[in-house]
Amino acid sequence: MFGFLRSRKPSSAQTAKERLQILLAHERGSGGGSDPDFLASLQRDILEVVRRHIEIDRDAVEIKLERSDDLSSLEINIDMPGAKARTPG
């Protein structure tokens, strides 16, 4: 399953940098039902959580949302050039 990150084209300056990729996939099944904006609100909260752990620049976050009939997916790519670990709390 490592392929999904490896498959990004490395830009010359970024190959040695730290990166975090988060993929969310929500399969609604035949029932439909849950909030169509579920992934979008999860995305906001997850980015908040990530910011609690590391310092990230807003410009270093790239987000792609895809929807089909019964499946929504969200891809969050974060470049962490000068990532410093934060102490939790």
| List of residues contacting its own copies (CB under 8 A) | 1-2, 4-5, 15-31, 33-35, 38, 41-42, 45-46, 48-50, 52-54, 66, 68, 71, 73, 75, 80, 83, 85, 88
Residue 34 carries which side chain, given as an amino acid letter? S
- Output the smallest distance, CB 49 to its own copies, in A: 4
**For its own copies, which is the closer residue by CB, 23 or 63?**
23
DSSP per position, 39-68: HHHHHHHHHHHHHHHB---GGGEEEEEEE-
